[in-house]
Chains A and B, each alone.
Chain A
Amino acid sequence: MKAANVIISAAVGISLLTGSVMTSANGVSKEDMACYDKAVSLQQDADSLGFEGFELSDYPVVFCDGSSDYVVKPDRSTEKRDPVFSTLAATAYDNDGHFEVIVPVRSTMGTLSMIMGGEWDEAHQASTIWHEAFHCYQLTNYRENIEGLTEGHIFSEDDFSEKLINDEYAKNTKAKELLTSQLELLAQSAEETDIDKLRENMIEYKKIDEQRRQLISEDAQILEDYYTVVEGSAYYVEMNMTKAQSEETFEKEYSESLGKYKGGSAKYYSLGGAQCLVLDRIDSGWKDSYDFSKPVIEIIYEKLGV
């Protein structure tokens, strides 16, 4: 090649490379920022739930894509950092004593949902942010009580990642049947306006619960309580945040499946979430004093004298 051609070729290459580098994502993507803004706009709806001091703006929100973390701070400033998790994660992360909401980037969730035959829009992402923000709230304000739920019991990572729960119900079809009945009762009761009928349902629920608990191990019972308290209440927040955005999505994706048995710990999300909805029917002010030290069902029993 002639010298002039070499110079022109090099100039073109450098220009294109510079353009590529200059326009590469250095921060939060527009679609993730839109999800963050959507979540923030739901603060009033979160206030109306009644958990005292539960503010999304207390926690940074981190969007992770496996390669980098994109942090949105409460003042809306952003930064890119190395990922704290190398895999897909939606969780509350303890960053030197201050909790952060971690959710996958929306594009990843969108692809994952598409593979599973669903969709993942801004509303889904915003509700998930609130779910994880609620874990931050729980762990910031009630960590001791939450740790107390599993006190004296040592669980492996595998147990918490569903192995114990799956094994328990895989070998025990009677327990599975009973739990399904309980979920159905809770789903019905969440819609019940007649308090006497609701009380009858809860008497029946308690009877089945006592029967079922005799069929499962103590470890499984403790994990159930832990999940219904921690995840069930966060699921309740997620459901309400979804409902605030779209009644239709709430009906389709939460309400219709609330009374159905699910695999892994997902069944306890529904169980705990439905308990919160039932307690709302009895006394919507229960959240003023709830401290996450016991399952919501115990408060239901107390309130109804069951």
Chain B
Amino acid sequence: MIAATAIREKIRKKIFIAVMVITAVLTLLLSTGSTTITVGGEPLTGFGIMMSVVFTVMHAVSCVMAVVISLGTIPAEYERRTHHLILTRGVSQARYHGQLTLANVGASLISHAVFMAGAAVYMISQGHASDLHRLLCAYVISGISIAAVSCLSSALSLTMGKLPAGLIAGTVTLAGITAPLLKTAQSMAGGFAGKLLGAALFVLPDLNSIQSAAAKLITGGKTEMHPIFTGLFYTYIFVMIIMIYKRKADKE
């Protein structure tokens, strides 16, 4: 009930709708062939390559959207003192925070679904309508990554101020999306810097691997299970923090 109300509230927010529309338009422009992506001056025109690029961009934007959507929900409840109404009716903090997090995850996945609709349009326009079920599977897999980011943002917003929570969530998300670049930097750096980057990569969720596993499904490749299990494990850890952490009732 709490989650359903919170999702409805989020979807009604004008900023949410505006960002969704703008990003969906950009996605459609990107995926309907009116723009040409080039790498090293060479156009990337093949369906498989284009689809991978489109999917990577959408996944990255969805992750950022998940941070934006999830960061303010719990602090807003405390700022508006709504928590008093809920907690005094015998609802535990764990359940309350859990429901709000569920709302964050739900809203983030709806946002992600809009981007996937853009990808679906591209697939149909390219004559790959029969492969739409693959896109649905890819949505489910990449949804793990979106859920992890949403839960992380929710957990951070519960345990610390909005600014540090936003900075940490943004940094972790960016690192997760650009994990291959960081791995390359780690390989090239060596020494202490390399070890430091290696440790960071070991601890941070590799969102790119989840996206790659999902993208492989679209192009008919065999997906890897490791990123899926790891993504789910990270989500579990963040959910556990949310369920266990007790926020002081008067904390704003």
Contacts and interface: CB of A to CB of B under 8 A. Distances in A.
Contacts of B230: 20
B229 A1 contact: no
A37 B187 CA distance: 24
Nearest to B187: A66
Of listed A12, A16, A66, A108, residue having the most chain B CB within 10 A:
A66
B187 A23 contact: no
Contacts of B189: 87
B236 A86 contact: no
B181 interface: yes
B56 to A, nearest CB: 11
Interface in A61-96: 64-67, 85-88
Interface stretch (B99-107, B115-123, B164-172, B190-198): B190-198
Interface string A103-118: 0100110111011111
Interface string B68-85: 000000000000000000
Contacts of A13: 233, 236-237, 240
B203 interface: no
Given A9-B240, A19-B225, A117 B41 contact: yes
Nearest to A110: B180
Contacts of A48: none
A17 interface: yes
Contacts of B62: none
B34 to A, nearest CB: 23
B1 interface: no
Contact of A86 (B181, B184, B191): B191
Contact of B180 (A16, A20, A25, A107): A107
Nearest to B224: A23
A66 B183 contact: yes
B243 interface: yes
Given A1-B94, A118-B40, A108 B187 contact: yes
Given A65-B187, A66-B198, A87-B187, A25 B226 contact: yes
Given A13-B233, A115-B181, A66 B39 contact: no
B31 interface: no
Interface string B209-252: 00000000000000011100110110011001001100000000
A20 B227 CA distance: 8
A70 B184 CA distance: 16
B40 A117 contact: yes
Nearest to A18: B229
B186 interface: yes
Contacts of B22: none
Given A23-B229, A87-B189, A119-B40, A16 B184 contact: no
Contact of A111 (B183, B191, B198): B183
B187 A88 contact: yes
Contact of A117 (B39, B180, B194): B39
A62 to B, nearest CB: 14
B236 A12 contact: yes
A24 interface: yes
B18 interface: no
Given A25-B226, A87-B194, A108 B94 contact: no
23 contacts: A1-B243, A13-B236, A13-B240, A17-B233, A19-B233, A20-B226, A20-B229, A23-B224, A64-B187, A66-B186, A66-B190, A66-B198, A87-B188, A88-B187, A108-B180, A108-B184, A111-B180, A111-B181, A114-B39, A115-B184, A117-B40, A119-B39, A119-B40
